[in-house]
Structure 1
Amino acid sequence: MVRTPPYPDTVVEASLPLCRPDPAALPQLEIPQPSAVTTNQRQNEAENCQSKMQGWWDQSISKNMGLPDGYQHVSVLLIKWHDEIDQLEVAQEVRDLEKLFKETFNYQTTVVELDAVKPQLRLECEITRFAFENDAKHNLLILYYAGHGIYNHKEDILYLAAYSGSELPRVSWNEAVRTLVNNVEGDIFALMDCCFASNPYARSILDFSRIFEIMAASGVDQVTPRPGKHSFTRALIESLEALAAQFKDSFFSTRDLHEKVIVKRPNTPPALWRGIPNNNRHVRLSPMKGGQQNQVAGPKKETPRGLLSLQFALRDDRLSQLQIDVLTRTLPKAFHNARAPVHNILWLDFKNARPPRATFKTAATMVTSLNRWKSLPGGSSQSSTSVKRKADQMTPDHSEDTPRNKKMVNGSLDSNSDG
């Protein structure tokens, strides 16, 4: 059956304009963003895995190459101001930390008290003497400071001071440690319980064969609580005690220590910095079994003449302890067979080479949607105008910077700060 149109002799024209819809009338599509918590968790898991693999490598390479497992000698230099001019009164916490290093860890300790008489020369002299008497290839030097910290932004210098503000005495930490970090053979671990401890200072070291780490009580441009139950030193003591009991017959890394302190000070977390570029190795700590003897001068070992850096593209995103053991047994033999004997094979870094798939997918989706949107009549002028208007209405959030700036007066701490 064929139906006859109602208007057989009439032509009906319809105009259907295709126009760009009003963005305000469209439902807002929320593009999922990676969770900050999830990202931090993944980063922490990766760093924990990295630290664990480094520990396996260090122990295994030492066993297979006949090298010392751990440090042969650990020395600690504790720096404070004399009690008569120490405004923060750090003496008790320094004594407790020294006792822990000496009695629990069997480390050699030295306490230096600075006074108002030529404190810069005294500090540099004590640090140089400390390094000269205790430095060696397989040794660890620990430097600890407790007191005021004042950062001068114009000079880019961290000053250690007995008082807050600009009053003397004070010393330049940059100058004091420059010779130390550029000339010693052993590893260095600095513990800084002062305000602005994370601000830049001597970090231009290019020797990949050793470790230089700094654990700072405060972040960049941040202050830290004075001595007491919330202080960095008190959390450090409690964390070292817990880790020493937990790792009686093995090692724990500075990353383990850093995480312990963060748990105790979540509102004022410390920062762990690496002083040597492209070197992600961590200092490993453990009590010295049976104590340690003073270093006896012996024949100087041959200094390596070459440093070979290779990059291995692996199938997996991590190595097992068994795989590391096999590698540390076979690699030295391979170099020996090639008549290129090695002194040591250091673990520097391990990175995940896989691209972030979710981020790439999100970017591709956004680009595709944008191209389709621009292909509609009406162009992108309205969209750009709308976006610009919204951007012009936004102002940067300086809420985090405001309290920091209030604590700074002419590059120094305000008198109300605990730094």
Structure 2
Amino acid sequence: MEPPQQSIAQEKMRLQEHLLLQQQQESQQSAQSRSPASGSNTVPMTEEDLESSPVHSQLSPAEDQQSPAYSPAAPSQQFPAYSIPRVPVPAPVYNTPRSPTPPPYSGPSTPAQEPAPPEESQAGGPKPPPRYPGLPALDYRLYNPPLFDLSPDKTAIKSTAAHLSTSADALVAIIRQQATVPPKPQIHIVGRRGASPTSGRVDFSIKLNLLPLLVPDDPRHRIDYLRCVGPGEVAFRGGSKPSTQPEVEGDGSLDAWAAKFVADTASVKAFALERVVVNLDVDWLEGQIRKLVVGMRYPGTVAVSFPVTHSRVVVQNPDRVNKFITSVTGFFAGKRKYEVVKAVWPFATMPKGSEGDGRRCAVQSEEVWWREWRGPIRYAIATKRNGWVTVEDKLEALMEGTPSTTPADVDWGPDY
């Protein structure tokens, strides 16, 4: 009977050979099914390696039953375990995610995010009005809409579209739409020298736009409104002359006046919307301007005016033949005028001098505006400008300082 240690060693050797042959068979099958370029983690043994192995047969069932259980805790000192060399396989290279932060001084990685247009514009409806940074939030398309013509002096737009004279609903809709934009109030300052205030050499002629003073940045703070003529108020009520008659049935609303205009059978008739500015103290502003010019020792005559453009919207019935025939017919037979509605754009809630009663300005008061524009106006007059004084002049005065314009600095030249 063999010693126990020798029997255990033979048992372990046979098990190692059994495992080795099994790995060899699996490796050969894998090598046959793969291409040479696919790679493998094990190296199959050659026939010479197999012949040089200590054992070539598997355990018989009888020997397997007589052999004691294999214990890995008792390694053999005589037969070291056979290890199969492995070929190192490089780790797979994955695409690392790109950092969402762009490198310094690079352009944007995605287009600028624009606000999504309303659903009605996506469905083919009217597009929303464009917005222009630095300008009041208004729909500027309404100042020169389709089917309307702008007058040469830029004071009125006029349409002879037939549907506006035959449909009260269409007329009311266009009037309410046009009332949402204000007129354009301005200041004109002209200095001239000559035989009369309207002739001679013009030394300076400057203009300023006051429209931004009517539209606050927050639409919720707007104080404009639509107003119809009241009882006993003199206006063009469907005749050729102003009168207090006739009245319309009902509450005298815009709808009632539009219905009366559409029902009028006159050969020439016109319905007008007037945009007006109220509660702006033009007398105080004119006094400040004249005081400024006198302080500059200007030797000529100064004219200060406050014209208003884009102030009227006129709807007239279509021409029967042409414009000439219509004008002749209107001249002899008279034109039926309906000037009964106004779009009121207050500079302030009350006239100047009513601060104690809670006067509130739409944007800023006359005093604040004058403090901001006094320097640019003085500099424009001193440089004898012919054109607009804009926000760029105000920006230069704030960023660079307005140049000195003392009376001694201005050379007005010889009189003639």
Provide TM-score, normalisation by structure 2. Answer: 0.21
Provide TM-score, normalisation by structure 1. Answer: 0.21
Rg comparison, structure with higher value? 2
